[in-house]
Every structure is written in C-alpha cells, then in structure tokens.
Homo-oligomer: A and B are copies of this chain.
Amino acid sequence: MARITGMEVLDVRFPTSRELDGSDAMNPDPDYSAAYVVLHTDGGPDGYGLTFTIGRGNDVQAAAIAALADHVVGREVPETAAQLAALSADLVGDSQLRWLGPEKGVAHMAVGAVVNAGWDLAARRAGRPLWRFLAEMTPEEIAGQVDFRYLTDALTEDEALEILRAAEPGRARRAADIAERGYPAYTTSPGWLGYGDAKLTRLAEQAVADGFDMIKLKVGGDLTDDIRRMKLAREAVGPDVRIAVDANQRWDVGAAVSWMEALAPYRPYWIEEPTSPDDVLGHKAIADGVAPILVATGEHVANRVMFKQLLQAGAISVLQLDACRVGGVNENIAILLLAAKFGVPVCPHAGGVGLCELVRHLSFFDYVAVSGSTENRVIEWVDHLHEHFTDPAVVRDGHYLAPAEPGFSARMHDATLRRFRFPDGPEWTENAR
C-alpha cells in the first residue's frame, strides 16, 4: 500500500508582462504564474497539480495549498473512485478552512490544485490519461465524486445518474472517434489588447490558415478601438469564421448592452465576461439585451453554486469550465453534469499556464461519458508556455489532439521549475525589473 509521503509547493512565475501577451481590459500586465504542487509517494509516480494566477499573490496561493498538507501527507495514495471522492470531501470539508471561502477564491483554488494532483496520481498509477481514467468509471462512481449539497434544487444524484447512464452505451465508439479526430479548438492568440492592428490582422489570417474556424478578440478598453479591431478581424477571417469577444468583466449591465450593439454589425459570436462573474442577474439582463449574440462566462466563476444559478436563470448560453478555478475534478464533474442537465454547451477557458494541458482532459471526458456531443463546443487555445510541460497540449488543424500520456498533464519540466521559481530562479534574479 503506497502512501503520500510529502507535499511540495512551488511559486513559479513567467515574465509574460514583458511582451504584453495576455493583456486585456482588466489585466494590463499579467505575469502568468503557477502555484505548483507535487504529491510525493513512497512507491510509483508522484502527482502534480497547480493553480494558475497572474503574478503577485502567487505566494499567497502557494501558502493556501501548503495549509492543506495535513489532509494529504500520510494518506494512502488514492486509486479507487471512493478514495478520490473522500480526498475531495476531506479537503472541501475542513470546517476551519471553509471560513476562508466558503468554496471560493484562494482557499478553494488551493483545494482544486490538491484534488487535481490526487487525480493525476490516480491516473498515473492506472497508466491512463485522466480523460480515459474518468471515462472508464461507472456512472455510480462518477456521480459519487459530486458534492450535491446546494445543487438538489437543480440537479439531484438520480438525475445525474440518468444523464451518465444515457451516455454509457456509446462510450467506446466516442472514445475512439475523439481520439481520431481531436476536439475542436478556437484561438485567442490574435486578439490581445496590447497587440497592434497589423499584428492582429496577421495573426487572424494565420489562425484561419492553421485550420481554426473561430477566433477571439479582447474588447472593453476603448469603443472606437474595438470597432476598428473587430472590423479588421472580420475582414481578415471572412464571413464564416466565428469571432468571439471577451470584455474580461469590464462593464456594468447597461454598458455591456450598448457596447455590444456597436459591435453587432461585425457579428460577434459570443460576449465573454461582460460583467462581474458574480452577477447572475446581470448576466441574465445582458443576455436578454444582446441576443442573438451569446453570453459566456466561467473562468472566474467561483464554484458549482454560481454555475447552477447562471444556468437556472438562463444567464449564459456558453459555460466556460476552468480546470483550476474551482475545487478540481470533482467539482468540475458537477459542473459538466449541470451543463448537460440544462443543455448548455461547455467551452472551456484555457490559456494562462497549464490550463490547456489540464482542461482538455475534462472536455474529452465530457464527450465520451457525459454530454456525448461536440456540437457548438470548442476549447480555447493559446499557443503559449506549453514547452514547459512534460505532456504539452497539441493543437493541429484547429483540433486538440487526444492526450495519451498517463495522468492529468500538470507536470512541468525540472529545468522550468529551476529557472522560473520566484523570486530566486535565474529568470528573476538575472532579469530584475
């Protein structure tokens, strides 16, 4: 019987603000970072997880992960569905730490990193990529991962089982199908707010040439600029490629509606994060005001209770799952089931550092064992920082290839950890700003 013998937490930061990669209306100068966790074991592989942050405060996030050590160190390495459910329940249920959320922000993301590292460990030991490991569980085992507290007015365990059982017959066929054709992707690379017009046009044209049928632009800084950039993008990609726009929470309800009216002639596909991620009723008002443009959110939605309400209210038409914002795989299974119940497509948030690597597993699993569909579903792709991972996400011809290595793909190269460790790695000591 193998045990978790230690938990190591690292503060790893990449100096992305130097190039304005990742710049948007609310995040002018992010340094993409990871609070990175390793679960060491006394037999077999270690487990890896992370929380994505954008720089300052990554040390606080790391401290929050470290505060969970007593729940995992000395614990039996989780292998079974029951052990994985218990790990999540113990971490979420710490009655003193719960006060720091509950189930939101730094404390909850810390839970997510450790839960994800536990799943990585289990999938590695099983010799399966996480999506296959998950998709080979029974409906009962999958539903058993979910904390249904606060969900039962929208989704009961029986309803979840019904969804999972309905998808059971076609699993093998869909797993083979998605491994063959890959999962549809869209690219945000052309659209950062800090990029000039020429770069935007060039990257948008490149995206189409690379096989993407959807791109995304950041908006919300200046309306005149946005109209010009949207027009350039539309000209660059032609009439048939979808262009999503992303305001990164910049607006109030009224501003969101009027701004989108001005962009409507260029046919934006969705407006993402038009306002506060906490504002369920605001998103609903915006959705009513901007239809037929879709409303999308999720990367900052704190937990399953918020997603539940966004779905109950009809406030979103696109659910943007994030692998590292909520309480890890277990809560993301709950969110996938909620989306399936309400018939809303899941189009995960990715980019940052590691998010593409992780979240693809959840979409592949969703296709095989939950929703059974890729219709109107697409995973974000930002071609950035993948070289730091031992099992990097790969997109070809506008599709994510199926991950094949065992685990959940959060592991970074040792050389990366040494170089980018903050504040003492050479990337930071040799390039002091």
Contacts and interface: CB of A to CB of B under 8 A. Distances in A.
A94 interface: yes
A101 interface: yes
A83 interface: no
A282 B313 CA distance: 11
A175 B392 CA distance: 65
Nearest to A54: B99
Contact of A105 (B101, B280, B309): B101
Contacts of A97: 56-57
B100 A53 contact: yes
Interface stretch (A27-35, A138-146, A370-378): A27-35
A305 interface: yes
A149 B31 CA distance: 25
A101 B281 CA distance: 19
Contacts of A278: 103-104, 150, 302-303, 305-306, 309
A229 to B, nearest CB: 21
A302 B151 CA distance: 19
B53 A57 contact: no
A95 B57 contact: no
B100 A105 contact: yes
Nearest to A56: B96
A130 B98 CA distance: 31
A158 interface: no
Interface stretch (A248-256, A264-272, A395-403): A248-256
Contact of A56 (B67, B109, B302, B303): B67
Interface string A39-76: 00000000000000111110111011001000000000
Contact of A99 (B53, B94, B281, B285): B53
Contacts of A252: 149-153
A109 B106 CA distance: 11
A360 interface: no
A300 interface: yes
A60 B302 contact: no
Interface string A275-309: 11111111001000000000000001011011011
Interface in A107-130: 107-109
A116 to B, nearest CB: 18
A26 interface: yes
A37 B152 CA distance: 41
A101 B100 CA distance: 12
A296 to B, nearest CB: 17
A194 interface: no
Nearest to A277: B102
Contacts of A277: 102
A253 B102 CA distance: 18
Given A102-B249, A105-B107, A309 B279 contact: yes
B305 A276 contact: yes
A280 B282 CA distance: 12
A312 interface: yes
A311 to B, nearest CB: 10
A60 B57 contact: no
A313 B280 CA distance: 11
Contact of A104 (B28, B57, B282, B302): B302
Contacts of A279: 150, 305, 308-309
Given A27-B96, A152-B253, A278-B305, 14 more contacts: A26-B95, A26-B98, A55-B99, A59-B63, A60-B100, A60-B107, A104-B302, A105-B106, A150-B282, A153-B252, A153-B282, A276-B305, A280-B280, A282-B305
23 contacts: A26-B98, A27-B95, A27-B98, A27-B99, A28-B95, A56-B97, A57-B97, A57-B100, A57-B107, A59-B63, A63-B63, A100-B106, A102-B249, A103-B276, A104-B278, A106-B107, A149-B252, A150-B275, A153-B254, A276-B305, A278-B305, A279-B308, A279-B309
